[in-house]
Amino acid sequence: MTIRLPSLTEAIINDATETAQRYLASAYDSVEAVLRNLDVVREQRRAAGQDLRGRLTENEEDLLRAAIVFAGAGLDATLKQLIRDSLPSVLEVSDLADGKFSAFIKTHISQADVVDVSRLAAYLASRSPRAELIEAYIADLTGGSLQSKQQVEAVAGALGVDDADLRRRVAGLRTAFQARNQIAHELDLRSPERHGDRARRTRKINDSVGTCHELLESAQLLINAVTGVVGGDG
C-alpha cells in the first residue's frame, strides 16, 4: 500500500500571501518525502519476506515522528511569514485585526497599567510611530514557536480571520500539537506500565498522516482566508 499525504485545498493567494504559500509548498514536499521514505523501507521489508501486519518497527515509527515534526515546523514557518508579509495590509481593512492591534499597543507601552513614558516618547519621536508599532507587533507574534492551538488562534485573530468554521478547525488542532510536542520535547518517551511495554508511544500510519495533513491544511486555509481579508487578485 502506497502511503500518500492527501492534497491540500487549492491555494488562493495574492502579493501579500505568495511567499507564505511557497513556504507551505516546501513544507508539504518535505513531509511527503519522509512518507515516501517510509514506503521504501516497508517495501524492502516486504521484498525480504517480512510480514508487515501489526505494529511498525521503531525505525518506521521514527519516520512518522519526523513527518509530524516537519508538518508542525511547516505550519510555524508559514504562519510567521504570513504575518510578516500581510499584517500591515490586514490592519488597513479589518476591524477585528485593528482591535487586536490596539489591545497590543496598550500593553506594549504600559507597565502594570501605567504608561511607560520613555517607550511612548520613543515611538512618538520616530519618523513613523504606526509603522514602528506594527513592527513591534509582528516581532511579538512571531517571537515564539507557533506550536499550540492557542497560538494559532491568536494569529488568526491578529490577521482578521473571523470565519467560524475555520476558527473551530484551528481549535481542533490541540490533538495534532499534542502529538508534535510529545515527539519534539519528549522523543515520544513514556514510562512502561507493564512488563514488555515499549518505552515510546505508538505511532500509526493513518493517524500520523492525518495529523500531518491537518497541520498543513490549517495553514493553507489560513492563507486563503487572509487572501480574502486583504483582497486583490488570486
Q: For residue range 102-150, list pLDDT tens digits in order.
A: 999 999 998 767 888 888 888 888 889 999 999 999 999 999 999 999 9
Phi then psi dihedrals of residue 27, to 5 deg: -65, -45
What's the CA gap between 151 and 222, in Å, rounded?
13
Asked if pLDDT for residue 194 goes beyond 70, the answer is: no
* Among candidate residues 158, 152, 142, the one with its CA nearest the CA of residue 95: 158
Q: For residue range 66-85, list pLDDT tens digits in order.
A: 999 999 999 999 999 999 99
Name the CA dihedral angle for 178, 12, 137, 128, rounded to a multiple of 10 degrees.
170
Q: Are 119 and 58 in contact (CB under 8 A)?
A: no
Q: How far is CA 168 from CA 7, 92, 150, in A?
A: 21, 25, 12
Write the single-letter amino acid at 146: L
Q: For residue range 41-51, list pLDDT tens digits in order.
A: 999 999 989 88
Q: Are 180 and 69 in contact (CB under 8 A)?
A: yes
Q: What is the pTM of this model?
A: 0.91
Handedness of CA 166, 170, 175, 177 (dihedral sign): positive
Residues, the chain, total?
A: 234
Beta bridge partners of 200: 189
**Cβ-Cβ contacts under 8 Å for 164 (sequence gap 6 or more):** none
Q: For the chain, give the percent of residues with pLDDT over 70.
A: 95
Q: Are 130 and 87 in contact (CB under 8 A)?
A: no
Q: How confident is the model at residue 190 (pLDDT cuts 50, 70, 90)?
A: confident
Residue the block writes with cell 491568536: 154
Position 120 scores a pLDDT of 84
Position 193 scores a pLDDT of 64
Mean pLDDT of the chain: 93
Position 195 scores a pLDDT of 59
* Among candidate residues 101, 195, 83, the one with its CA nearest the CA of residue 146: 83
Position 126 scores a pLDDT of 86
Q: What is the mean pLDDT of residues 209-215?
A: 98
Query: Which triple of cell numbers denotes residue 186?
Result: 519528549
Number of other CB atoms surrounding residue 72 within 10 Å: 27
What's the CA gap between 116 and 54, in Å, rounded?
62
Q: How far is CA 89 from CA 97, 159, 186, in A?
A: 10, 9, 39
Phi then psi dihedrals of residue 138, to 5 deg: -60, -45
Asked if pLDDT for residue 2 goes beyond 60, the answer is: yes
